[in-house]
């Protein structure tokens, strides 16, 4: 340390010359500039510096510290902690959401080509509706609606699968490419569906989903091509309506 010309200030995280440190500040590694800050400001700066300098691999303590900071009263610290956390654990937030979202009702409409499990494409114009309470799935194709009723356990499994495997609640984020340029800025905390609707109305979406969850959340999403996950969910649902499934209860 003596060989070096200066050292890092532990508050601002900047490498500074020896002259930038003085007296008490010097032994505590706090530069003059930071020493002049109020204690609250200094502690905030120090926390932000530590946040920005966390190693790639976090110890259990660092992870716990980072988690706790997301609830900080200081907005800047909380926001930074959330961003750093998301960087370290990119799927954590998504996995947290999965635990909270239970589909109550869902309508899933497809109007495009789909690929079957053999890789052959077919024209699809299908509307599925799923309802947790009645445990019914219905499938409307060519003006004919078929409905099947699943055992409670199976219905639960299917609805869970749609959230946890197909990650339906992220479809907008994952698959909607065309919606981004229609936003003027980041107006946070509002549903923009109504505004988008009119802009894209001319083009028929390849798929659309509307879901209500048991926690009261609602989602409406659509996209203009068929990604694999959308295709697979459609096939998954179609198999409940296959003709040879004569053991199922099918109502017309
Ligand atoms: Zn400093």
Least confident of 71-75, 143-147, 192-196: 192-196
pTM of the model: 0.66
Q: Residue 18: which residues within 8 A CB-CB, separation 6 or more?
A: 5, 6, 7, 26
Same-domain status, 25 and 143? no
Strands 121-131 and 103-115: antiparallel
Query: Ligand 1: distance of its center to the CA of 5 in Å?
Result: 16
Least confident of 57-66, 116-125, 190-199: 190-199
For residues 102 and 159, the answer to whether their CB atoms sit within 8 Å is: yes
- How far apart are the C-alpha atoms of 230 and 226, rounded to whole Å? 6
Helix (H, G, I), strand (E, B) or coil at 103: strand
In this prediction, residue 23 carries a pLDDT of: 72
In a domain, residue 186? The reply is no
Query: Ligand 1: distance of its center to the CA of 89 in Å?
Result: 30
Distances from the Cα of 15 to the Cα of 30, 53, 54, angstroms: 11, 13, 17
In a domain, residue 190? The reply is no
Question: Which tokens is 93 given?
Answer: 């937030």
Query: Ligand 1: distance of its center to the CA of 54 in Å?
Result: 18
In this prediction, residue 21 carries a pLDDT of: 87
Query: Ligand 1: distance of its center to the CA of 80 in Å?
Result: 19
For residues 69 and 51, the answer to whether their CB atoms sit within 8 Å is: yes
What are the respective helix, strand and coil percentages of the chain, to the nearest 5? 40, 25, 35
Query: Ligand 1: distance of its center to the CA of 242 in Å?
Result: 69
Domain count, the chain: 2
Same-domain status, 133 and 239? yes
Using one digit for the tens of pLDDT, what is the confidence trace for 146-183? 999 999 999 999 999 999 999 999 998 888 764 444 44
In a domain, residue 183? The reply is no
In this prediction, residue 25 carries a pLDDT of: 61
In a domain, residue 19? The reply is yes
Query: Ligand 1: distance of its center to the CA of 9 in Å?
Result: 5
Query: Ligand 1: distance of its center to the CA of 87 in Å?
Result: 26
Query: Ligand 1: distance of its center to the CA of 27 in Å?
Result: 13
Q: Where are the beta strands (DSSP E) in the chain?
A: 6-8, 15-17, 103-115, 121-131, 136-141, 144-149, 207-213, 218-223, 250-251
User: Across residues 192-213, what is the average pLDDT?
Assistant: 72
Same-domain status, 120 and 147? yes
Q: Give me the domain span that covers residue 34.
A: 6-96
Same-domain status, 54 and 161? no
- Bridge partners of 128, per DSSP, are 108, 139
In this prediction, residue 148 carries a pLDDT of: 97
In a domain, residue 89? The reply is yes
Query: Ligand 1: distance of its center to the CA of 41 in Å?
Result: 11
Using one digit for the tens of pLDDT, what is the confidence trace for 28-50? 789 999 999 999 999 999 999 99
Query: Ligand 1: distance of its center to the CA of 33 in Å?
Result: 6
CATH assignment of the domain containing 222? 3.30.1560
- How far apart are the C-alpha atoms of 4 and 104, rounded to whole Å? 64
């Amino acid at each position: 340390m003596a060989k070096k010309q200066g050292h890092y200030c532990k508050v601002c995280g900047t490498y500074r010359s020896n002259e930038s440190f003085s007296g008490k500040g010097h032994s505590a590694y706090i530069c003059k500039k930071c020493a002049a800050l109020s204690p609250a400001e200094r502690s905030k700066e120090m926390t932000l510096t530590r946040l920005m300098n966390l190693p790639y691999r976090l110890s259990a303590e660092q992870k716990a510290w980072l988690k706790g900071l997301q609830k900080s009263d200081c907005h800047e610290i909380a926001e930074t902690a959330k961003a750093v956390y998301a960087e370290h654990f990119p799927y954590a937030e998504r996995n947290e959401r999965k635990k909270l979202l239970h589909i109550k009702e869902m309508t899933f409409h497809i109007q495009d080509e789909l690929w079957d499990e053999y890789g052959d494409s077919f024209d699809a114009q299908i509307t599925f509706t799923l309802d947790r309470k009645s445990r019914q799935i219905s499938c409307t194709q060519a003006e004919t609606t078929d409905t099947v009723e699943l055992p409670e356990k199976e219905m639960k499994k299917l609805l869970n699968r749609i959230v946890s495997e197909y990650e339906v609640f992220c479809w907008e984020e994952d698959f909607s490419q065309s919606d981004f340029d229609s936003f003027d800025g980041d107006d946070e905390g509002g549903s923009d569906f109504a505004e988008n609707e009119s802009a894209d109305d001319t083009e028929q979406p390849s798929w659309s989903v509307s879901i209500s969850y048991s926690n009261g959340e609602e989602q409406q999403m659509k996209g203009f091509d068929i990604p694999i996950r959308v295709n697979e969910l459609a096939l998954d649902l179609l198999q409940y309506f296959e003709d040879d499934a004569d053991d199922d209860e099918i109502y017309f």
